[in-house]
Amino acid sequence: MIWKFIDSGDNTGSYNMEFDMMLARTLKSGQAILRLYGWKPYCISLGANQPEDSLNIEKVINDKLDFVKRPTGGRAILHA
């Protein structure tokens, strides 16, 4: 197994989700990746089937939070 280490630092929710999707699409058999990352600003991710109107968008913006949709299911998660 070939391991790769990526420290992508603190990024927005959309950047982190897109980066993960790119890794998932390009990972080859026999590879593994350890990725360290953070969220700046803090971010709420909604599950793939969770409607955006389940968030109080005005409060999210006033609290200077980011929000993004995940490609996976489940409910909202705060990434801090």
pLDDT digit string, tens, across residues 8-61: 999 999 999 999 999 999 999 999 999 999 999 999 999 999 999 999 999 999
Give me the pLDDT at residue 69, please. Answer: 95
Topology, domain 2-79: BirA Bifunctional Protein; domain 2 (3.30.930)
Query: Tokens at residue 40, please?
Result: 């700046």
Give me the pLDDT at residue 13, please. Answer: 97
Domain residue extents for the chain? 2-79
Which residue from 69, 5, 13, 55 is spatially nearest to 38, judged by alpha carbons? 13
pLDDT digit string, tens, across residues 49-76: 999 999 999 999 999 999 999 999 999 9
Give me the pLDDT at residue 39, please. Answer: 98
Give me the pLDDT at residue 33, please. Answer: 97
